[in-house]
Amino acid sequence: MTDIKRQTAIKLNIKQINNSKYVQMQGWNPNYIEYNQIKASRINLIAVLLNKNNTALTLDDGSGKIECRIFNETKNDEYKPGDTVLIIARPREYNNNKYLVPEIIKKTNKKWLLYRKKELETIDYGSIKEQQSIEIKEETTNNNSLTILEKLKELDKGEGVPIENLLEKLNVPEADKHINLLLNEGEIFEIKPGILKLLT
């Protein structure tokens, strides 16, 4: 069974990304941006899609604008200008201009953009471990994540679900690691300390 390590996708807004220092690494080490003691090689961003073409999306979250460049076959025909999207992406820089290369693009509700703005005001970046990674078993990741999402949906009556309650109802090995992975990927949100809710 293979173990995989996934670098945490750091929650930042566009202004923070654009004002960060870009560091290019050698070999297989991932490039990253440095913001307030954090080295972010993956970014978790919620923004509004302003416009798009076959190779790029222009995003705006109210703090600034940034381009998201499509270098592979990521489908973007399901998104249209005006949509709110959650993006997990890797930062890049060309001619001193930052841009993002997406791993995940997901349409979401505009309310999460408003929530993210408030969330960013409370994040203590100095307390986040640099390049925190989550190690999980590759072969069981998808099934366990789906189980957690289904259970969270079942338990949520509108106000979210305490993490302890969710863990009590789950029969998933290393459930806490899978929950952290879902949080990093933007599948679920911690709307209050210890309270989880599905991204919808």
pLDDT tens track for 139-185: 456 677 788 888 898 999 888 898 888 988 888 877 887 888 788 77
pTM above 0.75, yes or no: no
How many helices (H) and strands (E) in the chain?
5, 14
What's the pLDDT at 125?
Answer: 74
pLDDT in tens, 132-152: 555 555 545 667 778 888 889
Q: How far is CA 82 from CA 11, 17, 51, 110, 179, in A?
A: 21, 21, 8, 10, 30
pLDDT range class, residue 97, cuts 50, 70, 90: very high
- Cα separation, 7 vs 71, whole angstroms: 21
Q: Tell me the CA distances in angstroms from 8 to 77, 104, 141, one per residue in order.
A: 28, 14, 16
Show the domains of the chain with their CATH numbers. Answer: 3-127 (2.40.50.140), 133-198 (1.10.10)
| 169-176 LR contacts (CB < 8 Å, sep 24+) | 172/144, 172/147, 172/148, 173/137, 173/140, 173/144, 174/136, 174/137, 175/144, 175/148
